[in-house]
Amino acid sequence: MNTYLITGGAGFIGANFVKHMRRAYPDSRLIVLDALTYAGNLGTIREDIDGAHCLFVKGDICDRALLTELFDRHPIRYVVNFAAESHVDRSIEDPQLFLTTNILGAQNLLDAARRAWVTGKDGAGYPVWKDGVRFHQVSTDEVYGSLGDAGYFRETTPLDPRSPYSASKTSADLFVKAYFETYRMPVSITRCSNNYGPYHFPEKLIPLIINNILEGKKLPVYGDGSNVRDWLYVEDHCKAIDAVIHRGTPGEVYNVGGHNERTNIDIVRTVIRTVRQLMTERPEYRRALKKRETDAGGQLSVDWIHDGLIAFVKDRLGHDRRYAIDPAKITAELGWTPETDFDTGIVRTVRWYLEHQAWVEDITKGDYMNYYERMYAGREL
């Protein structure tokens, strides 16, 4: 039975990965480590935690003693590191927090795995590693910087981070690569495009727009909305990580993209249209509306859900213009391709949020509202 340490497993992508692994490898053991900061929600994975095949530990990857204890107590074979501060806006507000978690935390995790997995030295003085172990770093396409109107990020693209967040992720990637080169540690890295899907914290674009529509709020769009991102359905991303940790070449980087470039304003308009369409087809979904207006027939109205809700706001500092991923390497070497086209994925995502408002209400309590007010104060919503 393989044992996996999944850090940040109560966050958006981490929680979806936990669910994927429970389905794909029901006889394996998952140890989920999460500090449960504002974007981590134990309720997301509570049904997956059974005490036998899935255990939860509340803790920080910066806690050296805790990591040592986990490796001492469990025969961990794989580490999959999702743990990170991940929002660019927050990194602009508090850069040092991102250095602490994303760089020092990743290095601490690397050292804990190294202490547990090294069994001796070879004739040249290099560490000898336990068979079949793997440290996997989940990274981002933002480490490459910004693209012009043409071209794609490839694994050979020079690293050129533009925000404190992407700089911290770049540094973590380089530490992972350094451990491979210096210690021959069996590592891998994936760099993904923008994820979307269930359990996404509503500070990010798609869930933010859905949540604001339901509350009858304006829909903030940075600048003129022409910034381009490639969108990847989160379940497809989880399958890519699965492929890399089990079949990827140690020391390699794999880009994971969704073949779906869209401007931010197009995404917002698509979400508006999808929410209205689903509520028109399924009137029971209107129960999710916090803004309640009735139509001539006495039903909750959706007539006010339209592009007029959009509010262009002052642009983010250092806002990268375009990201686009070329996933040719992972397709050629591991046979992975995105399975979910955007038209299917966005309907599936919006429907999930309409059907899981209790989860949304639980995760948006407290710090989220304070953060929302700080981020958009003075931006002319």
Angle, CA 178 vertex, CA 174 and CA 183 arms, to 5°: 155
Catalytic one among 4, 144, 165, 233? Answer: 165
Q: Is 6 exposed, middle or buried (0-12, 13-18, 19+ CB in 10 A)?
A: buried
Among residues 34, 60, 142, 320, the one annotated as catalytic is: 142
Contact yes or no for 268/209 (Cβ under 8 A): yes
Q: How many CA atoms, within 13 angstroms, populate the side-chain half-sphere of residue 202?
A: 26
The two structure tokens encoding residue 267: 């995404």
CA distance linking residue 189 with residue 138, whole number of Å? 6
Q: Give the active site residue among 34, 48, 85, 141.
A: 141
Burial profile 239-268: b = 16 or more Cβ within 10 angstroms, e = fewer: bbbbbbbeebeebbbbbbbbbbbbbbbebb
Query: Does 233 participate in catalysis according to the annotation?
Result: no
Give CA 26 to chain center in angstroms. Answer: 23
Report the candidate in 195, 156, 162 with the shortest Cα–Cα distance to residue 321.
Answer: 162
Residue 232 CA: distances (Å) to CA of 33, 194, 256, 339: 25, 6, 8, 10
- The answer to whether the CB of 22 falls within 8 A of the CB of 355 is no
Per the document, the length of the chain is 381
Whether 165 sits among the annotated catalytic residues: the reply is yes
Tell me if residue 320 is catalytic. no
Q: Which residues are catalytic?
A: 141-142, 165
